[in-house]
Chain A
């Protein structure tokens, strides 16, 4: 076995996993606060990546201006979705809400195809191009820098949850909604902000992933891998999203390299099946949680 190759593949996989973790964070945040399983997360990512394309490619803004703008656009999209389509569903059965998010996903695909056609697109290059070496291991620069940006945002989120007053409000709402109301916490606002910041994480990850691998309206399918991540990690666990994200990213890449690209998804879904049998609530999830 070639250990250098294995090391490089693992490194690339972990870097990819970092981005998965970021998307999963967006998913978990929305689920934790509102108990909505958001199947549209992949499409929100895709939409933000197309916004980036429009700002950086079409309007020829500097990528470093286009990126925050696109992320902002994705966040606003999340907030608007919550306010106009999810909030009226409050109190309906979880399955109905899930169906709404699936509907939103296909609407977003349709909108994107309408404006940008269904053809794959390449994003303008904006990350540094010098190869990155960690010890003797080579890592593609796009992946390395994407990981760094993603990791920085992830750490910011974690610190915010842990130490800020807003983080307390979010965790209190997640823990007991009625009690959160009785503390004077504006629960509806917490719901909305969870969607905004969840979409923000997903949008950023969307741009970074699209920058490494290209973009098409089918890009949102990555949401499926992320679903595996959050189920393995536990739907309501931020720590779980992080660890499972790194692990699934690594597993996909290694399986792809050694067994061939068509084995990427089967490998992760086998893990998913095993986890569901042993720990139905995921590695770090709360026990009484409902299962998808």
Chain B
């Protein structure tokens, strides 16, 4: 069956000079949660931007390969058209409109519905407030004064308003306390289950991501180095050691003192 989002061997170059992605491919099936993991600078955010068409704003360009959403090449659509066709990108760092109120932030997201037949808007505001009761209490406040967790909720709320088929979430755990991370991920899983929205989750936090995802990709230096169903990845020795922070055979948490990176090479590098 055709996947909702298909990324085919794309290469991305910034400023016509710096190559960030080197032939990356991945697929997101309808209604699934797929995790894309990797450390800083691996190219995760760039991957999402090349899908949503925001690369041009940063002087980046897809030089090879193709991205298809619902079978259409995303290159043929302007960024706002792509959003209106059901692909919503929650950018890294939340990017709420700080000098707009919570409610106005949600109103801004209603532009994603332009030209679509959708249920009454007041229902979808209620839906957001149902998922995030705290936003309702603060709906008249400026978004800049919300806490980091509440801003992340607002960013997800905007995505809900847009009623997309696919939400691309860029590091929702950024700068949040562990308890809050768990809360946010629980809600992400709930949105996926109840709304049937597919989710492409970009994260550094492999443990929580693989807990809710059904499939995972791990990327390094601009390409995928390993992929597989989430439970297989969680069981993989290399993934356990380098991304989940649990040591080889014994499976116990390790002290930083004992970590000797030079002792073992990642197997996928050889």
Contacts and interface: CB of A to CB of B under 8 A. Distances in A.
A176 B53 CA distance: 16
A172 B154 CA distance: 14
A111 interface: no
B111 A175 contact: no
Interface stretch (B2-10, B87-95, B132-140, B173-181): B87-95
By size class, the interface of chain A is 10 to 19
A171 B109 contact: no
Interface core residue of A171, A182, A187 (most chain B CB under 10 Å): A182
B57 A181 contact: yes
B162 interface: yes
B107 interface: yes
B54 A175 contact: no
Given A172-B108, A178-B54, A184 B114 contact: yes
Contact of B99 (A171, A179, A181, A182): A171
Interface core residue of A91, A168, A187 (most chain B CB under 10 Å): A168
Contacts of A185: 80, 108, 111
B109 A175 contact: no
Given A168-B104, A171-B97, A183 B54 contact: no
B80 A176 contact: no
Contacts of A171: 97, 99-100, 104
Interface residues of B, number: 32
A180 B95 CA distance: 9
Contact of B158 (A91, A178, A183): A183
Contacts of A178: 54, 57, 91, 95
Given A175-B99, A184-B162, A169 B88 contact: no
Contacts of A176: 95, 97
B169 to A, nearest CB: 12
Nearest to A172: B108
B21 interface: no
A187 to B, nearest CB: 7
Contacts of A175: 97-100
Interface string B127-157: 0000000000000000000000000000000
A186 interface: yes
Interface in A161-201: 165, 168-169, 171-172, 175-187
Given A91-B59, A183-B111, 4 more contacts: A172-B97, A178-B95, A183-B158, A185-B80
Nearest 6 interchain pairs by C-beta: A184-B112, A184-B83, A179-B95, A172-B108, A175-B97, A184-B111
